[in-house]
Amino acid sequence: MRVRLKPLREQTIVITGASSGNGLAAAEAAVDRGAAVVLAARNAEALNRIAAGLSARGGRVAVCAADVAEPEGVARIGEAARTAFGGFDSWVNNAAAATYGRIDAVPMADHRRIFDVNYFGLLEASLLAAAHLKARGGGAIVNMGSVLSDRAMIYQGPYSATKAAVQAATDTLRMELEKERAPVSVTLIKPGSIHTPYPEHARNFMAAPPRLPPMLYDPRLVADAILFACEQPRRQIYVGGSGYLISLMGRLAPRLTDLAMEEFGARAQQRPGDPGDPAKRDNLYEPTRDGSIEGRQDLHVRRHSWLLEAQKNPLALPLLAGMAGLEALSAAAERVARGPQRSGRANRLAK
């Protein structure tokens, strides 16, 4: 059964984790394209401030301060959408939590917390959304995975594990809805390193402040992928050629990828100097300062992804696929070129 989705201007979209990063970028883009938006996150103050700004731009916006990991948190978000707009047409599961550090350095309670947010919260929301959309006559579920759904990253074990679980649950839900011919699209978005406050928000167990390994991509590219999936059914969408290269390497040369991560993983994920905004650090259990789309890493940020365009435009696939390949190769070359510039200081920090 072919799933038909409404144009964005006719949709109400629920976005979890909407107070910063990819979620906030998606909310702004959705409002600009005429959709009504339900913003969900834990930080009520940030949500209200964001909603006021979007409303001033003519946006139709509702907010729900809720933790998807808490009992009734997901149900409250769904109820907020029904109260404000009579329901929803797309549900975007973007809320996430993370740590940096050796897997044996992370307390078991923190492992469980990350699964409660990233996996169980997403699963509960996906099931609620599926039931609502079947009754409504159709719609889209968009889940935020990662290139780490395909390939675990050293020193991001709990987060990688949840994203692998998210991929399995998303694929299972898609198959089961398709088998019953339900008019519901289920998409998994797989970003690479995106220039969000993710490193500042993560709980850190390393000796130095965490960072995202280059190449970094604009969060608005993730927003573009999310909103595309709200209108056009897709199985999965990668964002960023550099991240896709990690997924590809993990499949084609898993042992070589292991060795590369063991050698360079610590340096790539630690940065000397500015640790970011202290008010944003460690939101694992309690919200911290929110409201920023981009993080503070002082690195070049790519504002375009040929790989993303190739996935959105299948008729132009041969040309765009070639450009996407060049993007991945140039990202890899830049990563190699940057490595020696930072290795001395990073090596000292890693010891």
Catalytic sites, residue numbers: 159
Contacts 24+ apart (CB under 8 A), 324-331: 324/241, 324/244, 325/241, 327/241, 328/241, 328/242, 328/244, 328/245, 328/248, 329/241, 330/241, 331/214, 331/215, 331/240, 331/241, 331/242, 331/245, 331/302
Closest Cα to residue 298, out of 194, 203, 195?
A: 195
Question: What is the 3-class SS of 234-288, one letter each residue?
Answer: CCEEEECHHHHHHHHHHHHCHHHHHHHHHHHHHHHCECCCCCCCHHHCCCCCCCC
Q: What's the CA angle centered on 267, arms 265 and 269, to 5 degrees?
A: 70
d(CA 27, CA 59): 10
